[in-house]
Structure 1
Amino acid sequence: MLTIYGVYRSRASRNIWLAHELGLPFKQVPVIQHYRLPDAKAAGAPLNTRSPEFMKVNPNGHIPSIDDDGLVLHESLAINLYLAKKHGGPLAPANVAEDGEMGMWALWAATEVETHALNILYHRSGNPAVSREMADAAVEALKAPFAVLDAALAKTGFLVGGRFTVADINVAEIMRYAQAEPALFEAAPRVKAWLAACQARPAFKKMMDARNKEPA
């Protein structure tokens, strides 16, 4: 049995979406981020990323983690690449070249997009740690990656192999943060259409429905 540690309002959403796409049964252990709690170490505090119980699973103190029949893995993007390859099918790489491309896109999204996209999201949601200047700088920084992605999607409408794969899930869940800045998507129409198609999938909607029901 696959166990996914993490709440829906975390990067665990990526793993849950993939599990739904693959039809995998899984157990979710709702570990919350410690910084969302007034005192993560208080008696009676919910299971969180600083709880000794969870730190035994992931000593880094981050979510998500998985336990797949005894194999414990961390890092959401790597977890998805592993699960896709293990279970095969159209979401998985068909050959070593596609495997390389899927890894490339995961790292690209994590290094070129995620921090900037989160700064936009945090600012637009009123997080005082991110100023307007930081958010504006993030928008500027994302214009080039959006253009790169838009050009890549011009070939087949997907990232790898001309079909929807785990690469699309990994990148789409990072691009989702940038939806707080619609102008970026208006300037990259293929990205806008691709993300809409990804988010129209039943597995994504199932994950988001559960996420929206979870306390903010």
Structure 2
Amino acid sequence: MLTIYGVYLSRASRVYWTAEELGIPFKAVKVTQARYLKDPFAEDAPFNTRSSDFLAVNPSAQIPAIDDDGLVLTESLAITLYLAKKHGGELAPADIAEEGEMLRWTLWAATELEPQTVQIVLVHDAGQETSEGGRKTIAVASRMLKMPLSVLELHLAGRDYLVGDRFTVADINVAEVLRYAMGEPKLFEDKPNIRAWYDACHARPAFEKMMAGRRAEAAALSAVG
């Protein structure tokens, strides 16, 4: 059975969404990021990325990780690609050409989008988007995103999805990376193709199941706070 290590409020969201799309059973193990804990090594600390049992799974102390019937795998985007290819169906590549395209868009998202989109979401998560420093960070990230977003907008012209005229794991990977920038709607004002594609991805029932997990965790954190 597939075991997914990581809270929904993390990059593990990509893995949970993929598992829901594939309709495969999985066990979710809540692993809190150590940076959010006062003392991750305390005896009463929750299971976290610095816990010895988790470090035995991923010595890099990062989530997500999976254990798929004995195969331990880390790195969220690699995990989603692996799960799609293992279980097949519409989410997976139909041939080597599609596999190349899915790898291309996944790596593109990781290198061209995520370094900037993460900067945006961190500013918003910290509630600093109206501060001078926050505005500067967002302005720089937005400027760096102009070219890659133009590339994506052009690719989606006349297409509903990224690869093979159907929803695939490539769409999950790119949409999840791009979600970090959605706190800045001005980035997408002149990108109707991206907006239509993004809305279609988020209209999927599997995405809503994943987001329900994120909302539940956020509500629990608010209650504690």
Q: What is the TM-score with the length of structure 2 in the denominator?
A: 0.93
List per-residue Cα deviations over 1:168-216 (Å, max 9, x = no partner): 0011001111101001111211111111110110000011011111034
2:50 counterpart residue number: 50
One-letter code of the match for 1:201?
R
1:37 counterpart residue number: 37
- Tell me, in whole angstroms, the C-alpha distance in 2 between the residues paired with 1:57 and 1:200: 34
Provide the secondary structure at the position in 1 that maps to 2:180: helix
2:62 counterpart residue number: 62
Question: Aligned match of 1:138 in 117, 120, 141?
Answer: 141
1:168 counterpart residue number: 171
Q: Which runs of 5+ in 2 are unaligned?
A: none
2:91 counterpart residue number: 91
1:208 counterpart residue number: 211
Q: Which runs of 5+ in 1 are unaligned?
A: none
Deviation at 1:127, TM superposition (A): 5.6
- Tell me, in whole angstroms, the C-alpha distance in 1 between the residues paired with 2:144 and 2:16: 29
Deviation at 1:132, TM superposition (A): 2.4
One-letter code of the match for 1:203?
A
- Tell me, in whole angstroms, the C-alpha distance in 2 between the residues paired with 1:103 and 1:39: 38
One-letter code of the match for 2:126?
G
Runs of 4+ more than 6 Å apart: none
- Tell me, in whole angstroms, the C-alpha distance in 1 between the residues paired with 2:5 and 2:89: 25
- Tell me, in whole angstroms, the C-alpha distance in 1 between the residues paired with 2:205 and 2:19: 12
One-letter code of the match for 1:143?
K
1:157 counterpart residue number: 160
Q: What is the TM-score with the length of structure 1 in the denominator?
A: 0.96
The aligned length equals: 216
The alignment status of 1:199 with 2:199, answered yes or no, reads no
- Tell me, in whole angstroms, the C-alpha distance in 1 between the residues paired with 2:193 and 2:159: 10
Q: 1:109-120 to 2 correspondence within 5 Å?
A: 109-120=109-120
Provide the secondary structure at the position in 1 that maps to 2:27: strand
